[in-house]
Structure 1
Amino acid sequence: MKTTFYISLLLAGLHAVSHGQLPPNHHNGDDPNEPKHHMHHAGEAIACLKLVPNNADFAFQFFKEIILEVPNKNIFFSPVSISTAFAMLALGARSTTQTQILEGLSFNLTEIQEKEIQEGFHNLIHMLSHPESKVQLNMVNAIFLTERLKPLKKFLDDAKALYQLEAFTTDFNNPREAEKQINDYVERKTHGKITDLVKDMDPQTVMLLGSFVFFKGNWEKSFKPEHTEEREFFVDAETTVKVPMMHQTGRFDFYFDEDLSCTVVRLHYNGSATAFLVLPAKGKMKQLEQTLVKETIQEWSDHLFKRLLSLYFPKFSISGSYEITNMLSKMGIVDVFTDQADLSGITGTPDLKVSKVVHKASLDVDERGTEAAAATAAEIMKMSLPPAIEFNRPFLMLIFDRDTNSTLFIGKIVNPTITS
């Protein structure tokens, strides 16, 4: 009988949370307003950029799986958080278990070695957490271990070096004390955003592995609170809700995808963060969900152009909490959840398996932002009214980091008045 442990994947996103990832091979063109890549560390950049196509493939494959699990509901998750936690787990996995994890993360092991993958994630974490950025983005990895479980020094050393892992001894035989220790840690690390993460903990647990991203960003051009007003949002043919709708008129990156019948608007945050807001035509959401791949984002990026728009976008807070074991199993990560698991790289003996994987993510979108410089504050408007784009029916929100080409968050907002 294998000893089981939990993996908990968390993400807290705050305020106008968005991190700007442009897809691989994005062309910035000559737009002076387009933030440039600030690759300060060339070696790190090369290492983590090797992961880009694989991480993007994983992100959109997982998106398709999660939609099947929770159809017609709000969805919000962090692909980079899930990938990072399982890459870290792969450090302690051996044989088929390790192969399944890495291939399940969309890596082709004939093209990239495990060592390169681990080095890439190490540099990804470092670059995402760069302190000179104008956005606050922290990736934190932690492991809570029962005292009787003695992890190998090599596993802890490698995990600390590559993933900045923090390790804690926890008495799981006293579930209430263990829950308090873990919840207090998570609440502190997410600045109070995530509370009471673990509940009803099994006293048989021997290890909890946690990975989360904390993000806080400001819009490059803020919305004025006095322009926010209640307007209707059409959830479906039968359901209409009232939402606080933010409003801003100006020049926005815009594209209409005729093949997928959707409108794309890109908003920047200060720093390297970017949000793609995607509004499908009525009845076209399912088609968009089923066909969305990294090449789609690339095409949008290549075709965006500046257009004067009257933009209406809801102010909302959503969170997602998912038990994702089943989804990962469908993607080929199977053995690690069974008695076939080989996690002997963690303890030296193959007596561990993962009992369940929990992923939590949250997003707040509001008007906050830093005004553009005074020289550009007074934009000259044409006398004719610009076309209005109103996000008043279900839409997607994709948040990227341009410096690392990372997909930080993927969200589907079906009803912005439902917070969880």
Structure 2
Amino acid sequence: MKSALFLCLLLLGFQVQGQHRSNLNDEQQEQEIPQSPEDHSQPEGENLAHVKIAPSNADFAFRFYKQVREEAGNKNIFFSPLSISTAFAMLSLGARSNTLSQLHKGLAFNLTEMEEKDIHEGFQCVLQLLNNPHREVQLNMGNALFIDDRLKLLQKFLDDVTNFYYSEAISSNFQNSPEAIKQINKYIETKTQGKIVDLLKSLDSNAVMVLVNYILFKGYWEKPFNNLVTRDDDFLLDAKNSVKVKMMHQNKVFNIHRDEKLSCWVVEIPYKGNATSLFVLPDEGTMKQVEDALLKETVSNWMQSLEKRKIYLYLPKFSISGCYDVKSLFKKMGVTEVFSDQADLSGVAEKTLLKVSRAIHKATVDVSENGTEAAAVTMIELVPLTAEFPPPPHIRFNRPFLMMIIDKTTHGILFMGKIVNPAAKED
């Protein structure tokens, strides 16, 4: 039995700019994220912390996607905008002056529309809701700081990252680089249930802190695909080239929308629980047009325009990953100071000037029939023979398409990507 598995990780490395570094005195204990039951009795409104940050997080997601697209060329794209924005929002607790302003602007937060406290309370709420153990969708998201034992964090920063982001603070000896790398990689491997192994290959010789954000998502389709009808089929890479893929098939009612203006099909494939996915299939030759129009308003319009309709759905099985140099991408988005000698992260540590030396993001996705055990259950479905008018459309994801995973509780885009070659080998 195979489940869809979405994994992602962001790793930030910090290096010291100043000379004075002192000891981390206290071993910090792992922070438990309080269970936050999805309280449906509470009306959805602007007073809810996570609702306030959702539009900014969506804006950031599409801005970052367009930056990745510039560099990706004709390659698959897959990342978690929420992981990246959470990690940098957490870092912003220790940023000051222009470094802080650039981070807010890069993350699409407008402080004329919300207070800085709203940002952190929003992420606090998102973490509580996503980690609710009573959800049908398995979601785990968390943060950790690996801190060199010569570095003394400011108590205010430590309190804030613990309070708002439930971060673990883990003492580490960066003087013993191989051991520190092993410790960090072991943590990542454990938190991603063995899916991301040996991510960190080396440490900067001046590194004094590593910030890790991880998100793990396992979802089962509300309507699983029957693996007995999965067939080999062609996926068209372009006008001249194709690859063989395992194509899944369903002939059922889905929420769909035909966007005539952008020339694309939008199909919602929901998971059990409060998460859903949008698969967007541009007509041949219109991918760039659809990508250029990717804005929160566009996606909101798609969601509101969805209508139930029986379709013949063809979707390939795929397992892809993406690895990104976030430092390079952020610099192109105007976030430069935090990576430079002008960085003002004076709210992080005592008597130590810090800058971000490296920021890596890795995400993987596995989409399959999801959770059917053909040997255990035999189901015979009978349908009346009726002449349907108009006939159900055949929507074949047999050419490059876009996908988004959306959490309905927090209104957040957990993951987004572009699949140009489902058969491509993972990074």
1:303 positional shift: 1.1
Corresponding letter in the other structure for 1:394: P
1:378-417 alpha-carbon deviations (Å, 9 max, x no partner): 6656455633111000000111001110010011000001
- Look up the match of 1:170: 172
Aligned in 2, Cα 1:352/1:405: closer, same or farther, shift over 3 Å?
Answer: same
Match of 2:402 among 392, 396, 400: 396
Q: 1:43 to 1:346 in 2, by over 3 A?
A: farther
Q: Is the 8 A contact 1:173 1:204 kept in 2?
A: no
Q: For residues 151 and 184 of structure 1, do their structure 2 counterparts lie closer, same or farther at Cα, with a shift above 3 Å needed? A: same
The worse-fitting range, judged by mean Cα deviation, of 382-391 and 306-315 is 382-391
Residues 79 and 182 of structure 1, relative CA distance in 2, 3 Å threshold = same
**Alpha-carbon distance in structure 2 between the residues aligned to 1:63 and 1:99:** 22
Task: Tell me: CA distance 1:264–1:43, structure 2 relative to 1, closer, same or farther (3 Å).
Answer: closer
Deviations 1:38-88 (A, max 9, x none): 646669971110001111111101111110111211000001101100110
Please say if residues 17 and 218 of structure 1, whose CA atoms lie closer than 8 Å, have aligned partners that are also in contact: no
CA contact (8 A) 2:137 2:218 kept: yes
Alpha-carbon distance between aligned partners in 2 of 1:269 and 1:18, rounded to the nearest angstrom: 13
The answer to which of 392-401 and 93-102 deviates more is 93-102
Partner of 1:247: 249
Counterparts of 1:18 and 1:53, CA distance in 2: 23
Greater RCO, CA 8 A, separation 6+: 1
Unpaired segments ≥5 residues, structure 2:
8-37
Aligned to 1:368, which of 367, 370, 374? 370
Distance in 1 separating the partners of 2:335 and 2:251: 47
Alignment equivalent of 2:361, drawn from 359, 380, 384: 359
Q: Kindly provide the amino acid, as one letter, of the partner of residue 421 in structure 2.
A: N
Query: 2 CA distance for matches of 1:43 and 1:237?
Result: 47
Cα distance in structure 2, aligned partners of 1:142 and 1:367: 34
Counterpart-to-counterpart distance in 2, 1:94 and 1:381: 68
- Alignment correspondent of 1:132: 134
SS at the partner of 1:50? helix
Greater alpha carbon shift after TM alignment, 150-159 vs 348-357: 348-357
Kept in 1: contact 2:338–2:356 (CA 8 A)? yes
Corresponding letter in the other structure for 1:257: D
Mean Cα deviation higher: 134-143 or 321-330? 321-330
Query: Are 1:15 and 2:20 counterparts?
Result: no
Alpha carbons of 1:128 and 1:407: their partners in 2 closer, same or farther (altered >3 Å)? same
Separation (CA, whole Å) in 2 of partners of 1:381 and 1:365: 32
Does the 8 A contact of 1:60 with 1:293 survive in 2?
yes
Q: Please name the residue that 1:5 is paired with.
A: none
The one-character-per-residue Cα deviations of 1:213-248 (angstroms, maximum 9, x if unpaired) are: 111010001001101111000111232100000111
- Residues 39 and 403 of structure 1 are in contact (CA less than 8 Å); yes or no, is this contact kept in structure 2? no
Sort the Cα spacing of 1:38 and 1:247 in 2 relative to 1 into closer, same or farther, 3 A: farther
AA aligned opposite 1:323: D
CA contact (8 A) 2:99 2:344 kept: yes
Q: Identify which of 121, 127, 131 aligns with 1:119.
A: 121
Asked if the contact 1:18/1:269 (under 8 Å) is kept, the reply is no
Pairs within 5 Å for 1:144-223: 144-223=146-225
Q: 1:377: Cα distance to partner? A: 6.8
User: What are the superposed Cα offsets for residues 277-307 of structure 1, whole Å, 9 maximum, x if unpaired?
Assistant: 0000111111111121011111111111111
Q: Tell me how far apart the structure 2 counterparts of residues 394 and 388 of structure 1 sit (CA, whole Å).
A: 16
Any idea what SS the aligned residue of 2:114 has?
Answer: coil
Matched to 1:359, the amino acid is H
Contact 1:278 1:396 in 2 (8 A): yes
Gap change, CA 1:172 and 1:132, over 3 Å in 2:
same
Q: Are the equivalent residues in 1 in contact too, given 2:5–2:216 (CA < 8 A)?
A: no
In 2 relative to 1, CA 95–41 (structure 1 residues): closer, same or farther, beyond 3 Å? farther
Counterpart amino acid of residue 398 in structure 1: M
| Mapped partners of 1:81, 1:107: distance in 2 | 16
CA contact 2:227–2:372 (8 Å) conserved in 1: no
Cα deviation per residue 1:6-36 (whole Å; 9 max; x = unaligned)?
Answer: xxxxxxxx932479xxxxxxxxxxxxxxxxx
Taking the TM superposition and a 5 Å limit, the aligned residue runs for 1:16-415 are: 16-17=4-5, 39=40, 46-349=48-351, 351-369=353-371, 380=384, 382-383=386-387, 386-415=392-421
Per the TM alignment, residue 375 of structure 1 is displaced from its structure 2 partner at its CA by 13
Per-residue CA deviation, residues 137-180 of structure 1 (Å, 9 max, x unaligned), is 01110111111111112211211111110111122222221111
- Hey, which bits of structure 1, 4+ residues long, moved more than 4 A? 40-45, 374-381
Offset at 1:258? 0.7
Structure 1 unaligned spans of 5+: 1-13, 20-36
Alignment TM-score, normalising by the size of structure 2: 0.86
TM-score by length of 1: 0.88
Q: CA deviation at 1:128?
A: 1.2
Residue 106 of structure 1 aligns to which amino acid in structure 2?
Answer: A
Aligned residue for 1:176, secondary structure, equals: helix
Give 2:406's aligned amino acid. Answer: F
1:41 and 1:128 mapped to 2: Cα distance? 17
* Per-residue CA distance 1:116-147 (angstroms, 9 max, x = gap): 11111111111111111101101110111111
Distance 2:311 2:169 in 1: 50
Return closer, same or farther for 1:207/1:42 CA change in 2, 3 Å cut-off: farther
